[in-house]
Structures are given as C-alpha cells and as structure tokens.
Amino acid sequence: MRNWENIQIDIAIIENAMKQKLRENEHKGYWDKLSPLQLAKRLEEEVEELNDAILLKSPVDIIREAADVANFAMMIASNTFRRSFPEPSNNLFIIQKIEEYLNAEDQD
C-alpha cells in the first residue's frame, strides 16, 4: 500500500533537485526548439551518467544525476504537450488538458 505522505516527500526531493539543475543550466536556454528525438538522445546520455553515479559516486551525485534524467523526461513531455495543445493561455487550462489526456489514455 502506498503512503501518499511519503510519496509527496519523494516528489519534493526530486522536484527540488530538478529545479536546482535547471537553474545551474539556465545559460543553455529553453528546450522548446528541440525535437523529442534530440531530447531522447540526451536522456539516454543522462541515464548512462546516472548508472555511473550509482556505481561510483556519492548519494548527492546520484540524486543530481537522477534529476538530470527527470528533467529530460519532463522536457520531452512538455514539448509534446505544448505541440499538441498550442493555445494554452493559463496554467489551469494546461493542468485540465493534461488530466483529460491522461484520463482518456487510462480508459484504453
């Protein structure tokens, strides 16, 4: 059985690490012009770095590399969503569309 309080803590850990890594790499610019395949290639590279960190590095390095993996997965999802629904004007619209899309997929 899942403990949602623990899951919220787990999400907060990776979320904070993701934000930190994004801030550190702000100079690289936004990812909206990259294709899903370009981002998937970078994701594969980050997974390799995560594997290396798991074998050779400290817990902090593992968390940071996991954040890189999560960020590239987020970029793929974000670009895919924004290209599918280009007209969002506010965050509530975006959240509603995501929920509708994911709920429709669950029913298949």
Task: State pLDDT tens for residues 5-49.
Answer: 999 999 999 999 999 999 999 999 899 899 999 999 999 999 999
| pTM score above 0.85 | no
Q: Over 60: is that where the pLDDT of 88 sits?
A: no
Q: Give the mean pLDDT of the chain.
A: 88
Looking at residue 86, its pLDDT comes to 67
**Comparing C-alpha atoms, which of 58, 75, 62, 59 is closest to residue 22?**
75
Please determine, for residue 83, whether its predicted confidence score (pLDDT) is greater than 80. Answer: yes
Checking if the pLDDT of 90 tops 80, the result is no
How far apart, in whole angstroms, are the C-alpha atoms of residue 81 and residue 86?
8
Contacts of 13 (CB under 8 A, 6+ apart): 63
Say if residue 57's pLDDT is above 90: no
